[in-house]
Amino acid sequence: MRLHLEYASPVWDPWIDKHIKQIEHVQRRAAWFVKNCWQRTPGTVSNLLNDLEWPSLQNRRKSAHLTLLHKAIHGESGLEIPCYIKRRTCQLRSFHKDKFIELTPNIESYRNSFYCRTIREWNALPNDVLDIEKSQLFKNALRLEWWHFN
């Protein structure tokens, strides 16, 4: 089931809490099924997910769209970065050649679109993660980063 949910996740990623919870509920039900534990006491499903060491689907989607942007930057995907997406030029302490100027649209649906959200999250990554050129190593580094942020 998770493959169906992740098929288009790099570009389709809900931002409304209600929709995020609906998708996360699929994984929570899967944890009950995998562990064959049907108790309805508070905290049971969270403990099952911790035992299984499954990252949240939201983190998996975030990793997927950051990886897609990484592949686009390094020419490993068919996705081309549009001309209106510009790289940062001023050299501050946190400067990195692969960081971008954030887009700030007024329309909420555009503000939460693929490029706007991904660039915001991309710029928040540490420079040593942005320096990684191989996609699989980048994806592994993201997994390690989630343990620090969550």
pLDDT in tens, 18-71: 888 888 888 888 888 888 887 777 677 888 888 888 888 888 888 888 999 999
Q: Are residues 73 and 119 in the same domain?
A: yes
Q: Are residues 44 and 110 in the same domain?
A: no
Domain assignment of residue 29, given as a range? 2-8+15-52
Q: Are residues 76 and 112 in the same domain?
A: yes
Question: DSSP 3-state assignment of 66?
Answer: helix
Q: Are residues 129 and 77 in the same domain?
A: yes
Q: Are residues 45 and 96 in the same domain?
A: no
DSSP codes of every residue in 85-134: --B--S--TT--TT-BPPP--SSHHHHTSHHHHHHHHHHHS-HHHHT--S
Is residue 56 a contact partner of residue 131, using CB atoms and an 8 Å limit? no
Q: Are residues 73 and 31 in the same domain?
A: no
What's the chain's length in residues? 150
Q: Which residues pair with 100 in a beta bridge?
A: 87
Q: What is the pLDDT of residue 134?
A: 92
Q: Are residues 103 and 64 in the same domain?
A: yes
Q: Are residues 24 and 89 in the same domain?
A: no
* Global confidence as pTM: 0.77
Is residue 145 a contact partner of residue 126, using CB atoms and an 8 Å limit? yes
